[in-house]
Amino acid sequence: QVVLSRQYGSEGRFTFTSHTPGEHQICLHSNSTRMALFAGGKLRVHLDIQVGEHTNNYPEIAAKDKLTELQLRARQLLDQVEQIQKEQNYQRVRSGDR
The pLDDT of residue 69 is 85
Which has more pLDDT, 19 or 98?
Answer: 19
pLDDT digits (tens, 9 = 90+) for 68-89: 888 888 988 888 888 888 888 8
**Residue 39: its pLDDT value, please?**
62
CB 78 within 8 A of CB 10: no
H runs (alpha helix) in 16-68: 34-38, 58-65
Mean pLDDT in residue range 59-65: 82
First to last CA, the chain: 22
Do 49 and 43 contact (CB within 8 A), yes or no? no
Rounded to two decimals, the pTM is 0.43
CA distances from 66 to 28, 53, 56, 74 (A): 38, 20, 16, 14
Specify the pLDDT at position 35.
60
DSSP state for residue 51 in the 8-state scheme: -
Q: Reply yes or no on whether the pLDDT at 90 is more than 60.
A: yes
Inform me whether the pLDDT recorded for 15 exceeds 70. Answer: yes
Query: pLDDT tens, 19-59?
Result: 666 777 888 877 766 666 566 666 677 777 777 666 677 78
